[in-house]
């Protein structure tokens, strides 16, 4: 098949999503290398991202471009062989087993705290903010922390386990505002180092360890934005760990990105360049893993808020890029821009969700009141 045919196929597909090659709308694309068309048809989403990193194509509004192609279902129409090895590997091996737990820490979270300090809010919260009633990122993230603490019904003197504690923002907030003791665990050396500094003087212990190694007992368990790294072969194990660490009358809050369908892999470009070995759980997978271990008290979806959060992260990253460029370079800039804005588009298209789920071990006597905790 000739180049012209490749170009026609891609152009026709994009037209179905309202995107024009060389058009004048912000979501239209400009192709700078004619080999782009064949590369994408052969390599699918992995090739699309790599071609962007290489400067073969551009778009003024990547977020809107991705929203449109996802709403049109183009991701399902452009199949390729590139995702097959991931699917096979997910079936044959446990890609998130304990011996591989620290890989995502090294390859994503340890790339440099300066990137995250430049991009995130003042507390360095690397998960979806809660934008109801908020006018800026700091307030929206504080709203989210308040919401979590209210749902957990924290009381002074409680002991809390934070699985996937990041840079300690939630741990610091819980300890400083609610008088609780917190044990935070992470698989990132850089997160652990900075979190310990930021939580200095508070009853917060930060540990560089895998969640499967925790066996102590806590009044509350919380996990924010970490379940995406657990993997479907380990969902049952994760729930067993959360249950064994939770006192009989305790509460467990899980905050995770979720997918609309059950799967065992993530987008190949995201897997290779951003979150190795990640996978988004479905509602069916979460509920199945919790069955027989927990009572689901509340299930709250505010996935549309991640679109706004990601746009703010990109604006911060882009504004601060001049002081980062010498260390990271242009290819990294294009990779990170693609990551943030493609994800924003996916949440805008409602392809991905954000769930906060509250579990109890045996059911809250008298019932759990979720409406009491939402602004």
Which of 149, 343, 369, 372 is labelled catalytic? 343
Q: Are residues 77 and 202 in the same domain?
A: no
Which string of b and e fits 243-267 if b means at least 16 CB within 10 Å?
bebbeeebbbbbbbbbbeeeeebbb
Structural domain contains residue 309 = no
In a domain, residue 143? The reply is: yes
For residue 92, the model assigns a pLDDT of: 44
Whether 246 and 113 map to the same domain: the answer is yes
E strands present in 153-280 = 159-163, 181-186, 204-208, 218-224, 246-259
Which residue shows structure tokens 């360049």?
A: 273
Domain that holds residue 186: 101-303+349-373
- Are 106 and 45 in a shared domain? no
Q: Are residues 164 and 216 in the same domain?
A: yes
Domain assignment of residue 341, yes or no: no
Q: Which residues pair with 204 in a beta bridge?
A: 182
Tell me which of 25, 47, 82 is where a domain ends. Answer: 82
pLDDT for the residue numbered 75: 72
Query: Based on the domain organization, do 201 and 129 belong to the same domain?
Result: yes
Q: Are 354 and 287 contained in the same domain?
A: yes
CA distance 107 to 260: 27
Instruction: Count Cβ atoms below 10 Å from residue 79 Cβ, excluding itself.
Output: 12
pLDDT at 264: 72
Q: In sequence order, what are the residues at sequence separation of 6 or more whose Cβ sits closer than 8 angstroms to the Cβ of residue 61?
A: 26, 27, 341
Residues 290 and 286: their CA atoms lie apart, in Å, by 6
Helices (H), the chain: 3-16, 36-53, 62-71, 74-77, 84-92, 103-104, 113-119, 137-152, 169-178, 189-198, 235-245, 268-273, 283-290, 304-320, 325-348
Which pLDDT value is given to residue 86? 40
pLDDT at residue number 104? 81
Give pLDDT, residue 265: 78
The pLDDT, as a whole number, for residue 4 is 60
What global pTM score does this model have? 0.93
Domain boundary among the residues 53, 82, 111 is at: 82
DSSP state of 17: T
| Together in a domain, 276 and 151 | yes
- Number of domains into which the chain is organized: 2
Q: Is 369 a catalytic residue?
A: no
pLDDT for 95 equals 58
**Per-residue pLDDT tens over the stretch 193-225:** 999 999 999 999 999 999 999 999 999 999 999
Q: Which of 36, 38, 17 is nearest to 28 (CA)?
A: 17
Same domain, 39 and 181: no
Q: Is residue 58 domain-shared with residue 179, that is, in the same domain? A: no
For position 290, which CATH number holds?
A: 3.40.50.150
pLDDT at 96: 60
- CB contact set of 148 (below 8 Å; sequence gap of 6+): 170, 222, 224, 253, 255, 356
Question: Does residue 158 lie within any of the structural domains?
Answer: yes
Give pLDDT < 70 ranges for the chain.
1-4, 76-101, 371-375
Cα gap 339→311, rounded to integer Å: 11
């Amino acid at each position: 098949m000739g180049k012209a045919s490749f170009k026609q196929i891609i152009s026709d597909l994009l037209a179905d999503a309202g995107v024009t090659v060389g058009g004048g709308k912000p979501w239209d694309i400009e192709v700078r290398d004619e080999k782009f068309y064949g590369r994408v048809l052969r390599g699918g989403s992995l090739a699309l991202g790599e071609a962007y990193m290489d400067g073969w194509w551009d778009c003024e509004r990547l977020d809107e471009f991705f929203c449109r192609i996802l709403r049109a279902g183009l991701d399902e129409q452009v199949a390729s062989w590139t995702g097959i090895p991931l699917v096979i590997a997910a079936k044959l091996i446990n890609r998130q087993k304990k011996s591989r737990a620290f890989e995502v820490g090294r390859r994503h979270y340890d790339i440099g705290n300066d990137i995250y300090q430049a991009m995130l809010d003042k507390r360095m919260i690397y998960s979806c903010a809660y934008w109801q009633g908020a006018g800026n990122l700091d307030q929206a993230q504080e709203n989210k922390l308040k919401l979590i603490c209210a749902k957990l019904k924290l009381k002074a003197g409680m002991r809390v386990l934070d699985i996937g504690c990041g840079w300690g923002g939630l741990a610091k907030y819980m300890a400083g505002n609610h008088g609780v003791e917190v044990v935070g665990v992470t698989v990132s050396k850089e997160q652990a180092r900075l979190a310990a500094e930021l939580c200095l003087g508070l009853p917060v212990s930060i540990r560089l360890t895998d969640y499967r190694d925790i066996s102590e007992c806590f009044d509350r368990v919380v996990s924010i934005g970490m379940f995406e790294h657990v993997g479907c072969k380990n969902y049952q194990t994760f729930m067993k760990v959360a249950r064994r660490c939770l006192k009989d009358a305790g509460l467990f809050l899980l905050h995770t990105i979720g997918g609309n369908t059950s799967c065992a892999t993530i987008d190949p470009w995201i897997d290779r360049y951003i979150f190795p070995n990640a996978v988004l759980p479905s509602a069916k997978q979460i509920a199945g893993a919790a069955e027989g271990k927990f009572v689901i008290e509340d299930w709250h979806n505010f996935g549309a808020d991640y679109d706004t959060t990601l746009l703010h992260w990109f604006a911060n990253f882009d504004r601060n890029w001049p002081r980062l460029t010498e260390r990271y370079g242009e290819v990294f800039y294009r990779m990170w821009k693609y990551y943030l804005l493609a994800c924003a588009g996916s949440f805008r298209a409602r392809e991905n969700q954000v769930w906060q789920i509250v579990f109890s071990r045996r059911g809250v006597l008298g019932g759990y009141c979720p409406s009491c905790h939402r602004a």
